[in-house]
Amino acid sequence: MEYKKILTLSFDDGVTQDIRFIELLDKCGIKCTFNLNSELLGISGCLNINGKEIKHIKVMPEDVKHIYANHEVCAHTLTHPFLTQQTDEEITRQVEQDRLNLSKLVGYNVRGFAYPGGGVNFNEHVASVISATTGVEFARTIQCSYNFDLQSDMYTFKPTISFIKEKEKTMELCREFIELQTDEPKLFYIWGHSYEMDVNDDWDFAEQVLSMLSGKSDILYCTNSQAFDYVKSICK
């Protein structure tokens, strides 16, 4: 069957909340790509979000292959720096060594990357360095497109929506995607962090969204790599 509607998710940082999120994903039959910082694995910390302390504990390196077995692991730099503030050599090291480290942990070639940091966390120069000097095949930004259109630039790829930050818009886009009738391929790309569900106890919202999107015969559920490969195959 040739699907015209493709759904993929991309979540960052490799935190222990991923385990709970993966339980929801697996229950709903939805795939996700998780972007990890290999030199931060196993480190415990906290984030202060809106005056609330949120656990930010990275999964252990020896647990990565098992935790993410049904999904995909991609790179997120070694130590989560702002790449726009780094030399070209450090951009390459941060991205490529992370990709290689993670490839060893999971036992397959890690292909994708998500830019770390908030705000403007990339530019055209950083993207060109990654494209030219690393094995990364696609790189996701945090600039949302709010649509399902395909994109030609694989190194400054815009997701559709942030999962938790704009909950009403997320629900609106979910309904729009489910009801969408199209002859052209469309991609719904959701990004986020699983720890965000802890800030305002949005785990029920997460389950509601995933349940709404699940089980549709006209939607292809896949990881980022699978989504990009599929789009390439039907757009030839």
Residue 67 has pLDDT above 90, yes or no: yes
8 Å CB contact between 187 and 222: no
Span 7-23, mean pLDDT?
A: 98
- Residue 184: what pLDDT? 94
Using DSSP, state whether 224 is helix, strand or coil: helix
Provide the 10 A C-beta neighbour count for residue 129. 20
- Residue 95 DSSP label: I
Q: What is the pTM of this model?
A: 0.97
Quick one: the chain helix, strand, coil %, rounded to 5? Answer: 40, 20, 40
Q: Tell how far CA 28 is from the center of its chain.
A: 18
Tokens matching residue 211: 């349940």
- Residue 88: what pLDDT? 98
Widest Cα–Cα separation across the chain: 50
Q: What is the pLDDT of residues 175-192, one digit of tens each?
A: 999 999 999 999 999 999
Percentage of residues in the chain having pLDDT higher than 90: 95
8 Å CB contact between 77 and 90: no
Span 91-108, mean pLDDT?
A: 98
Tokens matching residue 192: 């986020």
Distance CA 217, CA 34 (A): 25
Residue 236 has pLDDT above 80, yes or no: no
Distance CA 146, CA 213 (A): 17
Res. 163 pLDDT band, cuts 50 70 90: very high
Name all domains of the chain by residue range, CATH numbers in brackets.
Answer: 5-234 (3.20.20.370)
Residue 8 has pLDDT above 90, yes or no: yes
8 Å CB contact between 159 and 121: no
- Residue 100: what pLDDT? 98
Q: Tell how far CA 128 is from the center of its chain.
A: 20
Helix ranges restricted to H, the chain: 17-28, 64-67, 88-92, 98-106, 124-133, 167-179, 203-213, 224-234
